[in-house]
Structure 1
């Protein structure tokens, strides 16, 4: 019997692409294709899904990594492949912590999706060595330290230096040092331009608050 695949992606073109992968192989059949991670675990109930192709950032605020963690905890036999176009390194790190089966970058894939799907269903775990390299102003994504990325992520939420310091348990002077260093390193004209372009580049994504 073919494996049943759940596609979770808020982009129509991405869903259609993944649907075409499923249709191209007799090893798979489409269980469902949805645009929100909020209902992903519901589709996995009752053994209706063998494999999930899960995007991370959804327009409705739901998060594919949160959904993957829930599925992994409740339905450990369901295979999960995280798919994203965002090079934010925390996505890759958290996916490994959750214990998903594979991680696939949409624009910089090292292997075709069908090959990844087949290998995952055969029991392999597949992760890239590192996120794809992108630029933010004059700097490449590989030039930022983990602390700088933490500050940049919170900065992208629109927080003040004082609020960033409280969130990350840093001194105010340390936050100002990192923000000024990021502006200098990237050649941005202001913290606002830095925050906006950090999100546009995909180097970092503002944290989406979890629903109560």
Structure 2
């Protein structure tokens, strides 16, 4: 592993003092922030040098550049790896990420932010729901070439998703505006209370059916 110059370390320290952190060290796989994508943890007394070294390792057994900081990791070969590079890297290494064109954070995250703003993705009791494209495009019909048992399981999961999707109306009733990022008119306390009631009365019974299917 290449030695990290002191100047780069100082830049990292400055950068890391400005980044928001989530307490995910003990349960990081429970906080999915994009499909199959989870935040890195850089805080916690249990983290040692070996941990930080392992988080710099890429899938091809290479390592991130000394000027780069990994912000997220994907589950297995899925998900999105967000890497914050503190300087421009002109490398021809096609096995790493250096050949990819970078972008400003707002530009890179805009598609995800837009889907959340438009309530294609939104928070449910179990976390963020990213299944819109998967189920919406299905028309409510399971794959025709699946066995009957798996089709029943698919339909049970679809029913849970369809019921959860109706919480979009609660968002809108509580003042969520899909055309702006301004949330000053959103009545979050009312929303949380109504969402909890709806989840208990409508979604949870369908989840129970799904578990038995």
What TM-score, normalized to structure 1?
0.25
What TM-score, normalized to structure 2?
0.24
> Which of these two proteins has the greater Rg computed from alpha carbons?
2
- Greater fraction of residues in strand: 1
- Greater fraction of residues in helix: 1
